[in-house]
Structure 1
């Protein structure tokens, strides 16, 4: 059953939503070009016959995004978890392209939204995705307003003390600290052709500092060291919030 049309006004100009939808459509790995058209009828729903991916974006503008494309166009079958590259992996670059038009920010590494809640929200804008004259899926985008800078600076000393007290309660909570020496982008074909002994070139030169990430967020740079027979990381620079988001 489709969601009923929602007539609530969107938060930004239609041009911004359209630009995001077009950027996503251009990155979808289909044989024929994909067009994105603003939905004029009932809202779409998730289908068992499609590959879907959703994520949240936090930055200058924050947003929730969701895309679904007929599984046959991306290879594989719906719900297949045995494949080396999942449907969500294939759709990830398209989501990154769509949120790239919103400015600087970070796209969540995994699903962070409720599909039904997003599609049923009056602030969500939906687009039909079509290729070779046939409807192949949809794209949904909900932009969230960030707090005004003036409001953010108005936090009182008492509120800051309260935040510190609340943070003190989670001092013993463990978080994942990850060291990343570099990244690269590869086509699905190249990934599937990897063999034992293959060398993958990263986007970082030898001797460059490694990134230190806390729960996936960049917090510092450092150099890799060897301690006894184990690897370690010597912190060379702690990043502030703005640098970590860049």
Structure 2
């Protein structure tokens, strides 16, 4: 059975994506950093629906943990899909109040960790390595275009770096049977806003969106799974802005 890895798969967009990938017939690896119970609950939900899944712990900000995670995955099946969904942000603040430790922490996960996951996936998927090809989908953010002023400029910059990775890597590996694309969500109802100190952020800003509402995790998952599917077989280096028109 082909295998799909979803980083940060225990909640929010990652959870919704894992459920859809399982429905599409993949054995799904649910990566988590700390939320073991929530990851186990996603696995149980997939299995209750007749799918196949397992949880694998790793902090993708730590290269050694990423390598261990991929070794565990190698024992479970052939990796064909990687969804780089894991990401962090910190409490809302202005650039003048940022410190180096915070910036480095955000970039370690959102940029370096994503690069390392992509590197390991290419080694397994690429036809030049004896693989059968595959798809990588990076979960970026509309913040990469908008800058998130007064709130998360560091997070926005990290997602801008992810966008550059998406484009550059897609061109590097197109001839090796690997497609690399990105979804850039906007204001989505997930727990991440609480991490930034404002659980009700989507409700506060929803009326400013052209569509007049925030998005749901499943709406983003649908775009991710489409990009990973054969229906998008001629699509690479592309960005889907799923941000309600923003």
TM-score w.r.t. structure 2 length?
A: 0.23
Higher helix residue share: 2
**Which protein is bigger by CA-based radius of gyration?**
1
